[in-house]
A and B are shown apart, each in its own frame.
Chain A
Amino acid sequence: MAAVIQAQGLGKRYGRRWALTDCTLDIPAGRVVGLVGPNGAGKTTLLHLTVGLLAPTSGSVRVLGGRPAANPAQLAKVGFVAQDSPTYAGLRVADHLKLGARLNPGWDAALARGRIGRLGLDPVRKAGKLSGGQRAQLALTLGIAKRPELLILDEPVAALDPLARREFLQGLMEAAAEHELSVMLSSHLVSDLERACDYLIVLVDSRVRVAGAVEGLLATHHRLTGARRDPTRLPADQHVVAASHTDRQTILLIRTVGPVHDPAWAVHDVGLEQLVLAYMRHPETTALGRPTLAAVPPDATEVSL
């Protein structure tokens, strides 16, 4: 499948601090990609690099085969909704649609009007007078109506109440289904992304810790519980992501491609949130003597259930 975003050693430095380090990604098209990480991890930096608002300090990134923001054709293929859904406070809703029409040759005016109508947004209202949820929906409409191949959203629901959040995600998923969009959205909450995403990237402390299809991640991560023991004595193909011990018990979160044969372990599934938290809490597990490979190898994601 064609890759929609390809990054090679991508990095961004501000002064002394690296906001993004050594980021290598190969994201297939047709997915809804979730980018998760704590605040300050580098999510916005990564997204801004993919839309050309920032230039890399090191490495490179290719979006839909081209350099971000290189020319109008490239710009037309990618839609972007920035954090806090920026809109022109003095411009009316209808003016924003006109702006979209004037600045985008691929603009679908009927789609935009229809969406605004269904959402109940008053075209004469100034954007500065809209609620947070309404502004987010307006920004989303602008992103969808330019008919991009890829839509990128930076924490689109972070500032929204639960109802607005739900309505936003419903609208986004509907658009993704209808227009066969690839989508990438970031959040610092896994719960926002769990239902919608089928590809996950976890970013912690400027580095990618996890990158892979959700299906594959869930199939290859297990929670093992059993009597207290030394986790370094696991088979070589089982990588420990997180470990905790009580005086009697050991609980491990492991990543493995094959089955777990050892009868001494009880094997359980791992939920997506648990998985993400484990990687966020244990970015390096060198203390256990086994390096944790952050990225799931491509073949591991092809597990069919």
Chain B
Amino acid sequence: MIEFHLDDRSGLSPYLQLVRQVRQALRLGPLDEGDQLPTVKEVVAGLAINPNTVLKAYRELEHEGLVAARPGVGTFVTATLADAALVAHGPLRQDLRRWLARARRAGLDEESIEALFMTTFRTAAEEGIAWPPSSRPRGWAKGTGGAGR
């Protein structure tokens, strides 16, 4: 059974944090197909958050096809992300390591690397690369001008 936690200081809204934690658990293994997610009451009792937040998170996961609600019984996992993760991330991770090595050799420190990544990331989104709505960070007001443009 997955246990949720909330980070008040992350930029993410609580419901997004819950969604992410489920997806993370699916990816890394603690959650498997057929497992039951904690009931809304259990999550709320543990975290002292609004029940609607949990409902929203579960609805989002259902919308993504990852879980299904069975009325009167609970919410159960219907798919995993494990397979996709293992296959796709290997080469991507290697590319990223190579890029990081090059950035360091170019003299960039950690903060500069992060800033460079974030601005490019945001600019790329504006240029129309499709993002699934759930993984868009909350910092997006539609049509944002990038910082430092």
Residues of A bordering B, CB below 8 Å: 30-32, 166, 169-174, 176-178, 194-198, 218, 222, 258-269, 305
Contacts and interface: CB of A to CB of B under 8 A. Distances in A.
Interface of B: 6, 8, 11, 13-14, 40-41, 44-54, 133, 138-139, 141-145, 147-149
Contacts of A305: 13, 133, 138
Given A173-B45, A195-B6, A267 B50 contact: no
Nearest to A266: B147
Contacts of B40: 177
3 A-B pairs with the lowest CB-CB distances in the bound complex, closest first: A259-B143, A174-B45, A263-B145
A177 B51 contact: yes
A170 B142 contact: no
B41 to A, nearest CB: 5
A169 B13 CA distance: 19
Contacts of B142: 258-259
A178 B43 CA distance: 12
A38 B8 CA distance: 23
B50 A198 contact: yes
The dominant DSSP class at the B interface is: loop
Contacts of A172: 48
B141 A259 contact: yes
A195 B13 CA distance: 10
Given A178-B41, A269-B139, A173 B49 contact: yes
Contacts of A258: 142
B48 A265 contact: no
B44 A177 contact: yes
B145 A268 contact: no
Contact of A196 (B46, B50, B133): B50
A169 B41 contact: no
Residue in A194, A197, A218, A269 whose Cβ sees the most chain B Cβ within 10 Å: A269
A198 B53 contact: yes
Contact of A170 (B48, B51, B139): B48
Nearest to A166: B48
Given A178-B41, A269-B138, A305-B133, A264 B145 contact: yes
Contacts of A166: 48
A219 to B, nearest CB: 8
B149 A177 contact: no
A195 B147 contact: no
Residue in B45, B48, B145 whose Cβ sees the most chain A Cβ within 10 Å: B48
